[in-house]
Amino acid sequence: MIQIRNLSMRLSSGGREVPILDGISLEVPAKQFLAIVGPSGSGKSTLLGLMAGLDTPTSGSILLDDVELTALSEDDLARLRRQKIGYVFQSFHLIPTMTALENVSVPLELAGDPEAEVKATRVLRAVGLEPRAHHYPVQLSGGEQQRVAVARAFANQPALLLADEPTGNLDSATGQQVIDLLIRLNRDQGSTLVLVTHDPALASHADRVVTLCDGRIVSDESQVGGPRVQP
Protein backbone atom coordinates (compact mmCIF):
# COMPACT_ATOMS: atom_id res chain seq x y z
CA MET A 1 0.00 0.00 0.00
CA ILE A 2 2.70 2.49 1.02
CA GLN A 3 6.30 2.36 -0.12
CA ILE A 4 8.64 4.95 1.34
CA ARG A 5 12.17 5.16 0.03
CA ASN A 6 15.01 7.15 1.47
CA LEU A 7 12.71 9.88 2.78
CA SER A 8 14.35 12.95 4.29
CA MET A 9 12.87 16.13 5.70
CA ARG A 10 14.86 19.11 6.85
CA LEU A 11 13.47 22.34 8.20
CA SER A 12 15.37 25.56 8.38
CA SER A 13 15.15 27.07 11.81
CA GLY A 14 16.92 30.28 12.64
CA GLY A 15 19.09 29.99 9.55
CA ARG A 16 20.15 26.42 10.38
CA GLU A 17 18.97 23.28 8.67
CA VAL A 18 17.47 20.92 11.22
CA PRO A 19 17.00 17.31 10.08
CA ILE A 20 13.58 15.96 11.06
CA LEU A 21 13.60 12.74 9.05
CA ASP A 22 16.78 11.17 7.76
CA GLY A 23 16.71 8.45 5.07
CA ILE A 24 13.56 6.63 6.09
CA SER A 25 12.59 3.57 4.04
CA LEU A 26 9.45 1.72 4.97
CA GLU A 27 6.87 -0.48 3.34
CA VAL A 28 3.35 -0.86 4.66
CA PRO A 29 1.27 -3.66 3.11
CA ALA A 30 -2.47 -3.23 2.70
CA LYS A 31 -4.68 -3.88 5.73
CA GLN A 32 -1.75 -3.77 8.12
CA PHE A 33 -2.10 -2.00 11.48
CA LEU A 34 1.21 -0.23 11.98
CA ALA A 35 2.14 1.70 15.07
CA ILE A 36 4.92 4.28 14.85
CA VAL A 37 6.42 5.01 18.24
CA GLY A 38 9.30 7.06 19.52
CA PRO A 39 10.09 9.98 21.83
CA SER A 40 8.72 13.42 21.06
CA GLY A 41 10.74 15.19 18.39
CA SER A 42 11.68 11.89 16.76
CA GLY A 43 9.87 12.86 13.55
CA LYS A 44 6.97 10.42 13.75
CA SER A 45 4.22 13.00 13.21
CA THR A 46 6.10 14.48 10.29
CA LEU A 47 6.41 11.06 8.74
CA LEU A 48 2.68 10.52 9.12
CA GLY A 49 1.90 13.94 7.61
CA LEU A 50 4.13 13.21 4.64
CA MET A 51 2.24 9.94 4.06
CA ALA A 52 -0.90 12.05 3.64
CA GLY A 53 0.83 14.60 1.44
CA LEU A 54 0.21 17.33 4.01
CA ASP A 55 3.73 18.60 3.39
CA THR A 56 6.48 18.02 0.86
CA PRO A 57 9.63 16.12 1.86
CA THR A 58 13.08 17.52 1.17
CA SER A 59 14.02 14.36 -0.71
CA GLY A 60 12.98 10.76 -1.19
CA SER A 61 9.86 9.12 -2.50
CA ILE A 62 6.47 8.09 -1.16
CA LEU A 63 4.35 5.75 -3.24
CA LEU A 64 0.75 5.32 -2.29
CA ASP A 65 -0.86 2.55 -4.33
CA ASP A 66 1.93 3.11 -6.85
CA VAL A 67 1.24 6.85 -7.10
CA GLU A 68 4.24 9.05 -6.37
CA LEU A 69 3.00 11.62 -3.85
CA THR A 70 5.97 13.96 -4.23
CA ALA A 71 5.13 14.41 -7.90
CA LEU A 72 1.53 15.49 -7.28
CA SER A 73 0.30 19.07 -7.19
CA GLU A 74 -1.35 20.56 -4.10
CA ASP A 75 -4.80 20.01 -5.58
CA ASP A 76 -4.07 16.44 -6.75
CA LEU A 77 -2.90 15.67 -3.23
CA ALA A 78 -6.15 17.09 -1.86
CA ARG A 79 -8.19 14.94 -4.25
CA LEU A 80 -6.14 11.89 -3.33
CA ARG A 81 -6.75 12.53 0.38
CA ARG A 82 -10.47 12.71 -0.01
CA GLN A 83 -10.52 9.47 -2.00
CA LYS A 84 -8.12 7.32 -0.06
CA ILE A 85 -6.99 8.83 3.21
CA GLY A 86 -8.62 9.53 6.54
CA TYR A 87 -6.57 11.56 9.02
CA VAL A 88 -7.10 12.01 12.75
CA PHE A 89 -5.15 14.81 14.47
CA GLN A 90 -4.02 14.96 18.05
CA SER A 91 -5.87 18.23 18.59
CA PHE A 92 -9.00 17.24 16.66
CA HIS A 93 -9.00 20.21 14.24
CA LEU A 94 -12.71 20.47 13.72
CA ILE A 95 -14.02 23.54 11.92
CA PRO A 96 -15.61 25.67 14.66
CA THR A 97 -18.35 27.18 12.48
CA MET A 98 -19.72 23.77 11.55
CA THR A 99 -21.86 21.35 13.51
CA ALA A 100 -20.65 17.80 14.20
CA LEU A 101 -22.68 16.48 11.30
CA GLU A 102 -21.36 19.16 8.95
CA ASN A 103 -17.78 18.48 9.96
CA VAL A 104 -18.27 14.80 9.13
CA SER A 105 -19.97 15.69 5.83
CA VAL A 106 -17.11 17.87 4.56
CA PRO A 107 -14.98 15.11 2.91
CA LEU A 108 -18.11 13.56 1.37
CA GLU A 109 -19.26 16.93 0.06
CA LEU A 110 -15.82 17.68 -1.32
CA ALA A 111 -15.95 14.35 -3.15
CA GLY A 112 -19.32 15.41 -4.56
CA ASP A 113 -21.27 12.65 -2.83
CA PRO A 114 -25.00 13.39 -3.27
CA GLU A 115 -25.81 11.44 -0.14
CA ALA A 116 -23.26 13.21 2.02
CA GLU A 117 -25.64 13.98 4.84
CA VAL A 118 -27.14 10.49 5.03
CA LYS A 119 -23.74 8.86 5.04
CA ALA A 120 -22.34 11.34 7.55
CA THR A 121 -25.27 10.61 9.86
CA ARG A 122 -24.57 6.89 9.55
CA VAL A 123 -20.90 7.33 10.50
CA LEU A 124 -21.85 9.62 13.35
CA ARG A 125 -24.21 6.90 14.58
CA ALA A 126 -21.37 4.39 14.36
CA VAL A 127 -19.27 6.58 16.72
CA GLY A 128 -22.27 6.96 19.01
CA LEU A 129 -22.76 10.68 18.50
CA GLU A 130 -25.91 10.88 16.46
CA PRO A 131 -27.72 12.71 19.28
CA ARG A 132 -24.99 15.39 19.20
CA ALA A 133 -25.15 15.79 15.41
CA HIS A 134 -26.23 19.44 15.52
CA HIS A 135 -23.85 20.59 18.22
CA TYR A 136 -20.89 22.82 17.46
CA PRO A 137 -17.37 21.72 18.45
CA VAL A 138 -17.28 24.13 21.43
CA GLN A 139 -20.39 22.40 22.78
CA LEU A 140 -18.72 18.98 22.74
CA SER A 141 -16.26 17.45 25.21
CA GLY A 142 -12.74 16.59 24.09
CA GLY A 143 -13.58 12.91 23.70
CA GLU A 144 -16.68 13.73 21.72
CA GLN A 145 -14.72 16.09 19.47
CA GLN A 146 -12.18 13.39 18.75
CA ARG A 147 -14.93 10.90 17.98
CA VAL A 148 -16.35 13.40 15.50
CA ALA A 149 -12.85 13.70 14.01
CA VAL A 150 -12.65 9.91 13.75
CA ALA A 151 -16.05 9.85 12.07
CA ARG A 152 -14.82 12.51 9.65
CA ALA A 153 -11.74 10.40 8.87
CA PHE A 154 -13.90 7.34 8.17
CA ALA A 155 -16.65 9.13 6.29
CA ASN A 156 -15.24 8.38 2.84
CA GLN A 157 -14.40 4.79 3.76
CA PRO A 158 -10.74 5.45 3.00
CA ALA A 159 -8.32 2.62 2.27
CA LEU A 160 -5.72 4.29 4.49
CA LEU A 161 -6.34 5.69 7.93
CA LEU A 162 -3.66 7.85 9.55
CA ALA A 163 -3.97 8.80 13.21
CA ASP A 164 -1.53 11.17 14.89
CA GLU A 165 -1.56 10.64 18.66
CA PRO A 166 -5.36 10.57 18.65
CA THR A 167 -5.51 10.14 22.42
CA GLY A 168 -2.78 12.64 23.27
CA ASN A 169 -5.24 15.34 24.36
CA LEU A 170 -7.66 13.03 26.16
CA ASP A 171 -7.79 11.43 29.58
CA SER A 172 -7.05 7.72 29.61
CA ALA A 173 -10.62 6.43 29.82
CA THR A 174 -11.77 8.63 26.95
CA GLY A 175 -8.61 7.80 25.05
CA GLN A 176 -9.36 4.15 25.34
CA GLN A 177 -12.85 4.67 23.89
CA VAL A 178 -11.40 6.48 20.90
CA ILE A 179 -8.78 3.79 20.32
CA ASP A 180 -11.34 1.03 20.48
CA LEU A 181 -13.41 2.92 18.00
CA LEU A 182 -10.51 3.39 15.62
CA ILE A 183 -9.57 -0.25 15.71
CA ARG A 184 -13.14 -1.46 15.34
CA LEU A 185 -13.93 0.80 12.39
CA ASN A 186 -10.62 -0.08 10.79
CA ARG A 187 -11.37 -3.76 11.04
CA ASP A 188 -14.95 -3.35 9.80
CA GLN A 189 -13.76 -1.46 6.76
CA GLY A 190 -10.70 -3.55 6.15
CA SER A 191 -8.44 -0.53 5.76
CA THR A 192 -4.78 0.08 6.48
CA LEU A 193 -4.13 1.89 9.76
CA VAL A 194 -1.02 3.82 10.66
CA LEU A 195 -1.05 5.10 14.23
CA VAL A 196 1.49 7.45 15.72
CA THR A 197 1.74 7.21 19.50
CA HIS A 198 4.22 7.29 22.32
CA ASP A 199 2.06 5.05 24.44
CA PRO A 200 3.47 1.44 24.45
CA ALA A 201 0.13 0.08 25.62
CA LEU A 202 -1.52 1.54 22.57
CA ALA A 203 1.18 0.26 20.27
CA SER A 204 0.74 -3.21 21.61
CA HIS A 205 -2.53 -3.49 19.69
CA ALA A 206 -0.69 -3.17 16.37
CA ASP A 207 0.45 -5.86 13.92
CA ARG A 208 3.81 -4.17 13.71
CA VAL A 209 5.65 -1.48 15.63
CA VAL A 210 8.23 0.82 14.05
CA THR A 211 10.34 2.90 16.42
CA LEU A 212 11.79 6.24 15.35
CA CYS A 213 14.56 8.12 17.05
CA ASP A 214 16.11 11.37 15.77
CA GLY A 215 14.53 10.89 12.39
CA ARG A 216 15.70 7.31 11.82
CA ILE A 217 14.06 3.92 12.16
CA VAL A 218 15.75 2.19 15.07
CA SER A 219 13.57 -0.90 15.20
CA ASP A 220 10.85 -2.61 13.19
CA GLU A 221 9.07 -5.47 14.91
CA SER A 222 6.16 -7.58 13.89
CA GLN A 223 3.97 -8.66 16.79
CA VAL A 224 2.84 -12.23 16.83
CA GLY A 225 -0.82 -12.92 17.47
CA GLY A 226 -2.05 -9.80 15.81
CA PRO A 227 -4.00 -7.08 17.50
CA ARG A 228 -5.59 -7.75 20.82
CA VAL A 229 -8.77 -5.84 21.40
CA GLN A 230 -9.79 -4.96 24.90
CA PRO A 231 -13.19 -6.27 25.85
Partner 1 sequence: MNSFPFRMAWRETRAAWRHFAYFFVCIMLGVAALVGVGLFGASLDRAIQREARSLMAADVELRTSRPLTPEGEAILKSFEAQGIARMQVSELVAMAAVPSEGESDRRRGTQLVELKAVEPGYPFYGKLRAEPADALGKVLGGGPDSFALVQEALLIRLDLAVGDTLKIGQAEFTIAGVLRKEPDRAAGAFSLGPRVLISRKGLDATALIQPGSRVTNRHLLKVPDTMDARAIQDALAQTFPDKTVRVSTYQESQPMLRRFLRQMTMYLGLVGLITLMVGGIGVASSVRAFLKEKLETIAVLKAVGAESGTILRVYLVQTMLLGLLGSLAGAALGAGLQVALPPLMAQWLPVELEFHLALPPLALGLAMGLLTTALFALWPLLEVRRLKPNLVFRRDVSEEPAGSPGRAAWLISGMLALALAGLALLQAGSWRSAGLFIGALVLALGLLQGTAWLVVRLVRRLPRWRSLAWRQGSANLYRPGNPTKSILVSVGVGVMVILAIHLIERNLLWEIGETLPADAPSFFFIDIQPDQHDAFARLLRERGYADTRLTPLVRSRLWSLNGEPIRPEAYEEREHGWYFTREYVLTFQKDLPRGNVVTKGQWWDRSVPARGPLISVEEEAARRLGLDIGSMVEFDIQGAKVSGRVASVRKVDWGNLSTNFYFIFEPGALEGAPMTYVATTQVAAAEEVPLQRAVVAAFPNVSAINIRDVLDSVARVVDRISLVIRFMAGLSILGGAFVLAGALAATRFRRIYEAMILKAVGATRGAVAGTFAVEYALLGAAAGIIGSALATLLAWGVLRWILDVKWHFPPESIAWGIGATILGTLTVGFLSTVSILGQKPLPVLRRE
* Residues that bind partner 1 in the complex, under the rule CB under 8 A: 45-46, 49-50, 52, 54-56, 74-75, 78-79, 81-83, 85, 87, 89, 91, 93-98, 102, 105-107, 109-111, 152, 156
Gyration radius (Cα) of the chain, Å: 17
Quick check: 178 and 166 in contact, CB under 8 A? yes
Q: CA–CA separation, 20 vs 5, rounded Å? A: 16
49: nearest Cα among 13, 11, 12, 14: 11
Strands 16-28 and 216-222 turn out to be unpaired
Q: Whole-number minimum distance, CB 207 to partner 1, in Å?
A: 26
Q: Whole-number minimum distance, CB 202 to partner 1, in Å?
A: 20
Q: Whole-number minimum distance, CB 104 to partner 1, in Å?
A: 10
Q: Whole-number minimum distance, CB 43 to partner 1, in Å?
A: 12
- Alpha-carbon distances, residue 139 vs 99, 100, 142, 217 (angstroms): 9, 10, 10, 41
Question: Which one, 83 or 141, has the nearer CB to partner 1?
Answer: 83
Question: Which one, 56 or 141, has the nearer CB to partner 1?
Answer: 56
Question: Which one, 66 or 74, has the nearer CB to partner 1?
Answer: 74
